[in-house]
Amino acid sequence: MKNWLLTVLVLLGFFTQVISQQSFTHADTVRGSITPERSWWNLLHYTLDITPNITQKTIRGTVVVRFKAIKPAKRLQIDLQQPLSIDIVFQKINNKWIPGKYTRDGNAYFITLPQSPTVGITQELKIVYGGKPKEAVRAPWDGGLSWKTDTKGNPFVSTSCQGLGTSVWWPCKDHQYDEPEQGVLIRVKIPDTLTNVSNGKLKQVIQHNDATKTWVWEVKKPINNYSVSMNIGKYDLINDTYTGEKGQLPLTYYVLAYNRDSAIKQFAQVKTMLACFENWFGPYPFYEDGFKMVEVPYLGMEHQSNVAYGNKYRNGYLGRDLSGSGWGLKWDYIIVHESGHEWFGNNITSKDIADMWIHEGFTTYSETLYTECQFGRQAADEYNYGLRKNIQNKTPIIGTYNVQNQGSGDMYFKGSAMIHSIRHAMNNDKKFKDMLRGLNSSFYHGIATTTSLQKQMEKFTGFSLKSIFEQYLFTTQIPTLAYYFSADGKRLFYQYIDCIDGFNLKLNIPSPLKPLALQPLANKWQSIPITATDLNQSMILELEKNYYIKLLEKKEGVVKNN
């Protein structure tokens, strides 16, 4: 295996596999479950006031949490990861900030409010905090703050916290099930020689007398916590506009000044990407917040309406093709993949991190669709097939629920292969597109689970996905189609083996005269009459390219691998 491919597999899979193999603790449950201290209140809005000290690598800040009680209680959970700490908390009562009490349990604070909130009435909680947040060692996979400098020696600071959690740099309700439905206001105070770029639209830049500026950004739509970002650098601004399904979408790019020319050339791909994804997935989900890309000192991340970009203005994945097909070098991996998350991950967010395949499987499949948009269906099939060599099948894609466990890194490539298999089984691209657009409409700015997603998809597939999901998401088996031709060549015998009971993925075989549809059963031989024109060995072999299965041909009692 080439060294670069090994590195990619380690980055995508190693950390998730380590997590999936660990034993779970009380802290994991507090972090990953909807605790009683979380369940009684509904998150509405965050206001962040952040002052980073770039020299000392510290943060001081205040966060105001707006919420409503949905049942009576007065003890709530706010997450903030060590070594950061809360200094004081307040509840707003009759327009006055009244101090509350709190205790700490690892990375969770349990706050007892001075007064029980009235059910259904908007409340506010103010949290003052600070300290030296965890520094990212290999962003974005391990997460934290990246305190870097650019090639000119200017500060180059960025956040990345998917999986690890937003509470690594500010206090919040750090669980994906509850997003701030009224958005976020982000104010970051930094030296006035620098720019901060956060999510949403820039509302104001405030110049202060101490040679600092406060950059004020506003997100109007719901946003998952890990998408909230802070990016500080010596940036140039590039403005553009895309005319899409919902009208004019402002495009803004913040890039290091000396990369401006490279960015203008490379980011020309953004408009073709948006056109492709709007065609397949429906309108860009955040027209009100705009579309933005910001250069960062790591590879990239899907921060909502503020996609983090660090692919060095090269096509492929840092100049490499993850599929080995050649097609992955014809477009910029970070532009396509991280922007695909605007639909899957940011618009549709998994309720539990154990279902993160919803984010990564569909977004990895967006690469196949972009390849198809630009270069045709054959190129897309070749790209998708090429990605499969990266599947490891060591642990299941689905993690353990309620303990902040995201399962296997196979959620990327195996998740994409499963979706491609479902598409071929449907054999109807109009319905497949309607399904993808329907998902983004049904779960618009919303939360999904594997079960709820399955039910919605089945409205379009025309067949049950239960056994298909169980096979690919919960096991590491690769289903195998065992088959043989009768001695006279007039019948094909076939069955699934190495699969769960009830596995029912339909196989469509293109044929010059009439397409053939096989519905193999698990461990039970079936047969159909054929002619040499209807079906031959090469047509069977093509199945392995379109479906994530293996093939076993049986002849005269001898089994051989194909």
Q: Give me the residue spans of the domains in the chain.
A: 3-338, 480-561
Give the three-class secondary structure for 447.
strand
What sign does the dihedral 428-429-433-434 (CA atoms) show?
negative
The class (CATH top level) of 3-338 is mainly beta
Coil, helix or strand for 303?
coil
> 164 and 84 in contact (C-beta within 8 Å)?
no
Residue 437: C-alpha distances to residues 156, 369, 409, 460 (Å) = 38, 13, 26, 11
Distances 422 to 52, 212, 429, 465, 481 between C-alpha atoms, Å:
47, 54, 11, 9, 16
Predicted local confidence at residue 234, as pLDDT:
98
Instruction: Give residue 515's pLDDT.
Output: 78
Q: Helix or strand or coil: residue 411?
A: helix
Which residue do the tokens 């499963």 mark?
Answer: 418
| Per-residue CA distances from 144 to 63, 157, 321, 408 (Å) | 18, 11, 28, 21
Bin 168: left if φ > 0, else alpha if -120 < ψ < 50, else beta: alpha
Q: What SS3 class is residue 546?
A: helix
Q: CA 312 to CA 332: how far, in whole Å?
A: 10
Q: What are phi and psi of 428, to 5 degrees?
A: -155, 95
Task: For residue 101, report the phi and psi dihedrals to the nearest 5 degrees.
Answer: -110, 155
d(CA 485, CA 492): 5
DSSP 116: P
**Residue 22 pLDDT:** 62
Cβ atoms of 65 and 86 closer than 8 Å: no
How does pLDDT run along the chain (562 residues), one tens digit per residue? Answer: 344 444 444 444 444 444 445 689 999 999 999 999 999 999 999 999 999 999 999 999 999 999 999 999 999 999 999 999 999 999 999 999 999 999 999 999 999 999 999 999 999 999 999 999 999 999 999 999 999 999 999 999 999 999 999 999 999 999 999 999 999 999 999 999 999 999 999 999 999 999 999 999 999 999 999 999 999 999 999 999 999 999 999 999 999 999 999 999 999 999 999 999 999 999 999 999 999 999 999 999 999 999 999 999 999 999 999 999 999 999 999 999 999 999 999 999 999 999 999 999 999 999 999 999 999 999 999 999 999 999 999 999 999 999 999 999 999 999 999 999 999 999 999 999 999 999 999 999 999 999 999 999 999 999 999 999 999 999 999 999 999 999 998 999 999 999 999 999 999 998 776 778 999 999 999 999 988 777 888 899 999 999 999 999 997 545 444 4
Residue 349 CA to residue 356 CA, distance in Å, equals 8
Note the pLDDT of residue 536: 84
Amino acid occupying residue 145: L
- What dihedral do alpha carbons 260, 264, 265, 271 form, nearest 10°? 150
Strands (E), 31-84: 41-53, 58-69, 75-79
* Bridge-based pairing state of the strands 41-53 and 184-191: parallel
Token output for 390 = 């990266």
Confidence (pLDDT) at 560: 46
Alpha carbon of residue 349 to chain centroid = 8
Asked if 40 and 73 touch (Cβ cutoff 8 Å), the reply is yes
User: Peptide bond before 83: cis, by omega within 30 degrees of 0?
Assistant: yes
| pLDDT of amino acid 430 | 98
Helix (H) or strand (E) holding 271: helix 269-281
Instruction: State which amino acid sits at residue 42.
Output: N
Q: Cβ of 476: how many Cβ atoms within 10 Å?
A: 15
Which residue bears the tokens 């309607």? 434
Distance CA(367)–CA(359), nearest Å, equals 13
Is the pTM for the entire model greater than 0.85?
Answer: yes
